[in-house]
Amino acid sequence: MNTCFKNIVRTLVSVFILTNIFITSGVIFKVEASQFMIDYKSEYIIDESGEANITHNATITNLQNDVIPMNYSLSAMDSNIYEVSAETNGKETEPKLNNNKNNTDITVTIKDYSIGEGRQNTITIKYKSKSVAVKSGSIWNIYIPKIQIPDETTAYDFKLSVPESFGPKVFLTPEPTIEKKEDGKNIFYFTKNTFESTGISAAFGGFQPVNFKIKYQIQNDLILPAIKKIAIPSDIEHYQNVSYDKISPRPFKIEYDEDNNFVAYYILKPKQKTEIEVQGTSRLLSKQINVNSGGIISEIPKVLIKNYTRQQKYWETKSPYILKIARELKKDDQTVVYNAKMVYEFIKNNLKYDFDAQSKGMVERKGAEAAASQKNSWTCMEFTDLFIAVTRAMGIPAREINGYAFTSEESNKPISISLESGDTLHSWAEFYDPYNGWVQVDPTWGTTSGLDYFSKLDTNHFAFVRKGISSEHPFSAGTYRYSDNEKLIETALSQTSSDENFKPSVKANKVLNLNPLVILSGKIRIKIENTGKVTAYDINDLNILPGEKRYTNIKKENDRVVFKDFMGNEFETEIEK
């Protein structure tokens, strides 16, 4: 074979690149695609320590007699892989490594290559990594970023093996084609069609405990007494359950607002300053939805349409830019979930994240219209605002969540709402579907990580406040301050949390009833006081917050009240005379 021909072949084969992030073909491969056919198989076996043993196999079939593969390159999106080995056509081959900032390129020379149409050459590359499975608190998180598979690939089979000791599955996306248990392992199989549009992300372990201590600094600048209120972390169905160890000083009342935030009220004297400390533990959960199911817009309750599709500052639903996007994306014959996902995908494909935002200090919120009309780089605020504005313009209720997101991968999962004194928050969104209820999504992390943050949210998102009635209120934790140099938010992932702290406890007492209508109806009046650290649910159709006292009427023959915890487990207590 002449030298010129060898150089052409080497160039062609060097563009067969397999990577944790993508498999790409390059321009030359697309032109000469008829020369080869490739089948891929990848296997990720994770042991109990979290170490991943990774094997990539490629089978290259010659489609012509006069073309041969000579080199094969793989790019792993991991700069810390180790124990790398390779074989070509069954013979050990010395791999060449090139470490970059975020990835490692592995190149092998194909030994004893097979020549002739229909003949095959096989390549096997193995290595280990501790970056695929990472334990955060009590949760094992597994991230295998998006793989872009060229059309020329005839097959791509993927196997993920996870120890049963990691605990129950919290979520796994995309859905595997086969799932089974074998020899103490949970094994998941995927195919080319399963995950060609997104990476694989999973979590095991049940729920994630988070310990928190938050300070709220409030002041009354008036010469008369004033009522001040703060929004504190609250329960969110399917996503988080909060237990309070301390709320000091105690508010004179705690109640739900229209966005279902817990709001504590304080009376401040003229010119008074008060620092409130809220301390406790939150159990973070995850809700995974089926993107192929869901309700339709006409099934959404009218009150939600009224409250959560209106134009607000930063959510310019009447802007021509927003309306144009909504009209182009919306499919009237599709579900709410389908249309919301179209907005999510539009943002992923059209917005760029500003990775320099944190170095700039305080970042001004620009809003949805700016993100839709200007070519720029944006923070999580604009990603969230645009999702909310466009879904609202479609007639889908949507609102904003501010909170803390735990990440050790700032380049893939940034948090970018910078507050005074180093407190840094994150912003994400939720939309309402008649079948699934409120669904939380993170278009920012979906864009920057290449993983699926639409069908599920991981257990690293701790919500402080939800905003939908207004785009500006209530304020998030970290923004109530009169001190410019004090860090107000402390959060930490925890390995365990006491079940006792999440068990509701109420006290019920019979009280004097002077209402003749209640007496004639055969009922008695009782006072119920929540003496526990968590919300007590479904007490005669009431939800009673920690420290709260409520009155209700029950049938006089009842000698006890029944209530539930966050997970729906039933409890009861006797009514004291």
Round to whole Å and give the CA distance between 217 and 509. 36
Please state which of the four CATH numbers 3.20.19.10, 3.30.460.80, 3.30.70.60, 3.10.620.30 is assigned to the domain occupying 297-493: 3.10.620.30
- pTM for this prediction: 0.81
Tokens of 486: 């004090």
DSSP H helices, 50-91, are none
Fold match, 3-204 / 297-493: no
DSSP state of 236: B
Round to whole Å and give the CA distance between 226 and 552. 30
Q: Which residues pair with 245 in a beta bridge?
A: none
Give how far Cα 404 sits from Cα of 94, 429, 488, 537, Å.
45, 13, 13, 26
Give how far Cα 379 sits from Cα of 364, 373, 443, Å.
10, 15, 11
Round to whole Å and give the CA distance between 115 and 66. 7
Question: What phi and psi values does residue 481 have, to the nearest 5 degrees?
Answer: -155, 150
3-204 CATH fold: Immunoglobulin-like (2.60.40)
Round to whole Å and give the CA distance between 147 and 74. 12
What is the chain's pLDDT, residue by residue, as a tens digit (577 residues)? 333 323 333 333 333 333 332 333 222 222 244 578 888 899 999 999 999 999 999 898 888 887 777 888 887 777 788 999 999 999 999 999 888 777 788 889 988 888 888 889 999 999 999 989 988 778 898 988 766 665 667 788 899 999 999 998 888 888 899 999 999 999 999 887 766 667 788 889 888 999 999 999 999 999 999 999 999 999 999 999 999 999 999 999 999 999 999 999 999 999 999 999 999 999 999 889 999 999 999 999 999 999 999 999 999 999 999 999 999 999 999 999 999 999 999 999 999 998 877 666 667 899 999 999 998 999 999 999 999 999 999 999 999 999 998 876 555 666 666 555 556 789 999 999 999 999 999 999 999 888 889 999 989 999 999 999 999 999 999 999 998 778 899 998 887 788 899 999 999 999 887 788 777 788 888 999 999 999 999 998 899 999 899 999 888 888 889 999 999 999 999 988 7
Domain ranges of the chain: 3-204, 208-283, 297-493, 503-576
